[in-house]
Structure 1
Amino acid sequence: MRQLIVRRLLQTIPLLFFVSIACFALVKLAPGDPVLSFVTPNMHPEDIERIRHHLGLDQPAYMQYLLWLKEMFRGNLGYSLVNHQPVAHQIIERIPATAGLMGSALLLAVLIAIPLGLAAGSQRNRWADKLINLISYIGISIPIFWLAIMLIYLFAIQLHWLPVMGMRTIGKESAMDVIKHGILPCSVLAFSFLSTYVRYIRSGTIGQLKEEYVQIQYAFGSSKRIVLFRHVMKHVLLPIITLLGMSMAELVTGAIVTETVFSWPGIGSLGMTAVKGLDYPVIMGITLLSALLLIIGNLLADILYGFADPRIKTTR
């Protein structure tokens, strides 16, 4: 296991290097010019070129990348081209908001998906299975922004139960106020994750119920509930571990669409602002951080596989 961890960590360096090259190339190939955000109608061309030189955008693209790479190795992600604030400071400042929102959504989705998936798989082709499948298909099919708008219209505009914008109400610093602001975006994200997780758990449950060990447990007098939650659940959670590992990156990048709709002050909204302004230092910082967390998440998933299924650990 130690060799696996060391090997995967060493593979992280070239992976992040290629990710940075691809991300930088895509940003430079995108149409637009970040200097235009500083241009005013009465500005002279000399002033525009002075701004371009000050931002380092008058150099060739490969030289801009090498300069950025040099600063990154020093632990400096650079400064935003839009607000001139340190990129690392902006990302660190917004991580708690996004991690809290995405972590709550993932936890809620898993806790609801496990019993629903087990129930759907054990009641295959019955009314409960059909109802749960219908809910799952709806969650997979509808766009997230549409669901967010519908919830805003119902619970905020019509019923006046929940706030819509931001993370806090001006003048209030209570935890309950943050929870109220997070209910709607957390529900939207949880429903999106839930729909996918239920399908995986249902499929795994159907396959596990055909195994011999299930029939042996029934022969020993175990109830259906005990078989599902004590024996079958351990096996059907393996694909969920993979999905959670791949979701590690989303704990930082968040759901860009959801954070934008609800004006949630997380990294997703920061990334959207950076993309609109072609603020490549911020885009590069967010992309590299999400790629690093994705690699770490997959590594943690492989490690958890060994604890969840001893056969995998024995094979390794």
Structure 2
Amino acid sequence: MNSYILRRVLQAVPLLFFISIVSFALIKLSPGDPVLSFVTPNMDPEDVERIRKSLGLNEPVYVQYFIWLKNVLMGDFGYSLVNHRPVLTLIAERIPATIGLMGSALVLSLIVAIPLSLYAGSRKNSAVDRILSLFSYIGISIPAFWFGILLIFWFSFKMHWLPSMGMRTVGINSAWDIMKHGILPVIVLSFINISMYMRYIRSSTISELEEDYVQIQYAYGSTKNTILWRHVFRNVLLPVVTILGMSLPDLIAGAFITESVFSWPGMGSLGITAVTGLDYPVIMGITMLTSVMLVIGNLVADILYGVVDPRIKTAG
């Protein structure tokens, strides 16, 4: 297992290198000039060029990339062009809010999706199964930003039950206040994930119930619920691990959109601000960090395969 993990980590290095090249090139090809954020109406052209030189923007693109790469390998992601603070400091301040939002949505999605999917799969084509299938299709089709705005309209402006934006109420510093602010964004992220998870788990449940070992358990006198939770559930865990690895990019992207809608102070809102302000160092820092998170997530999913299914561990 250790050699497998080391091999996967080594395979991720050229992938991250390729992602950094593509991201840096796309940023440089995008319209706009970050120097304009420093320019004042009365500034001389010589001063503008001096600023450009101090930021290293007068060098060719490939030289700028290698300078950035050298600094990153030394642990320096640069300074924000908008906030004038270290990029790592800005990300470190925002990442707990994003991880908390994503983690809560992921846990809630699994808690809701697994039992509902097992129940729907064990009662194929029943009224409950059709209702839950309709629910999953609606969840997959609804855009996250539209659903978030809809929840804000009803639960914040109409009923005044929950706050509409932010992470804290001014003057209040309590865990319950943070939880109230996180309810709506977590619901938005969870609704989309639950819909996707239900489709996979339901399909896997139906396939498992048609296997021979289920009929053998019936012959031994086991009840349907016992078979469903003791035997089918264990075999359904493998596709659950698979979809977790597949859905991690969507979860991160959804968190960015949701944070923008609810003004949640995480990496998503920081990234949107960086894009609108042409803050290239922050954009690259967030891009590389999310790429590392995706690589780690897929690695964890591969490791969990061997935990869930011993046959994979034996084959490896």
TM-score by length of 1: 0.96
1: CA distance between counterparts of 2:95 and 2:139?
Answer: 27
Q: Is the 8 A contact 2:121 2:206 kept in 1?
A: yes
Q: Is the 8 A contact 2:33 2:278 kept in 1?
A: yes
2: CA distance between counterparts of 1:145 and 1:251?
Answer: 14
Q: Give the superposition deviation at 1:259.
A: 0.2
Structure 2 residue aligned with 1:80: 80
Q: Give the superposition deviation at 1:249.
A: 5.9
Q: Is the 8 A contact 1:189 1:258 kept in 2?
A: yes
Structure 1 residue aligned with 2:185: 185
Deviates more, 1:9-18 or 1:19-28: 9-18
| Cα shift readout 1:79-113 (whole Å, capped 9, x = no counterpart) | 11211110111111111111111100000001100
Q: Is the 8 A contact 1:55 1:81 kept in 2?
A: no
Deviates more, 1:152-161 or 1:302-311: 302-311
Deviates more, 1:67-76 or 1:246-255: 246-255
Give 1:80's aligned amino acid.
Answer: S
2: CA distance between counterparts of 1:25 and 1:124?
Answer: 50
Give 2:266's aligned amino acid.
Answer: G
Match of 1:93, SS? helix
Is residue 13 of structure 2 the alignment partner of residue 13 of structure 1? Answer: yes
Q: Give the superposition deviation at 1:253.
A: 6.8
Question: RMSD of the alignment, in Å?
Answer: 1.5
Q: Give the superposition deviation at 1:46.
A: 2.2
Structure 2 residue aligned with 1:168: 168
Give 1:213's aligned amino acid.
Answer: Y
Q: How is 1:125-140 mapped onto 2 (pairs within 5 angstroms)?
A: 125-140=125-140
2: CA distance between counterparts of 1:250 and 1:263?
Answer: 19
Structure 1 residue aligned with 2:237: 237
Q: Which runs of 5+ in 1 are unaligned?
A: none
Q: Is the 8 A contact 2:189 2:254 kept in 1?
A: no
Q: Give the superposition deviation at 1:315.
A: 1.6
Structure 2 residue aligned with 1:312: 312
CA distance 1:199–1:248, change in 2 (3 Å):
closer
Q: Give the superposition deviation at 1:246.
A: 4.3
Q: Give the superposition deviation at 1:44.
A: 2.7
Q: Is the 8 A contact 1:249 1:291 kept in 2?
A: no
Match of 1:107, SS? helix
Q: Give the superposition deviation at 1:256.
A: 1.3
Structure 2 residue aligned with 1:198: 198
Match of 1:255, SS? helix
2: CA distance between counterparts of 1:73 and 1:246?
Answer: 29
| Cα shift readout 1:30-89 (whole Å, capped 9, x = no counterpart) | 111112222333333222222212221111111110110110111111111211110111
Identity of aligned residues (%): 64
Give 2:166's aligned amino acid.
Answer: G
Q: Give the superposition deviation at 1:177.
A: 0.4
Structure 1 residue aligned with 2:66: 66
Q: Give the superposition deviation at 1:248.
A: 5.1
2: CA distance between counterparts of 1:36 and 1:243?
Answer: 44
Give 1:58's aligned amino acid.
Answer: N
Q: Which runs of 5+ in 2 are unaligned?
A: none
Structure 2 residue aligned with 1:118: 118
Give 1:219's aligned amino acid.
Answer: A
Structure 2 residue aligned with 1:226: 226
Give 1:109's aligned amino acid.
Answer: S
Structure 2 residue aligned with 1:41: 41
Q: Is the 8 A contact 1:246 1:294 kept in 2?
A: no
Match of 1:237, SS? helix
Structure 2 residue aligned with 1:258: 258
Q: Give the superposition deviation at 1:10.
A: 1.3
Q: Give the superposition deviation at 1:277.
A: 1.9
2: CA distance between counterparts of 1:249 and 1:291?
Answer: 9
2: CA distance between counterparts of 1:279 and 1:242?
Answer: 35
Match of 2:41, SS? coil
| Cα shift readout 1:161-211 (whole Å, capped 9, x = no counterpart) | 000111000111011000000000011001011110001101101111110
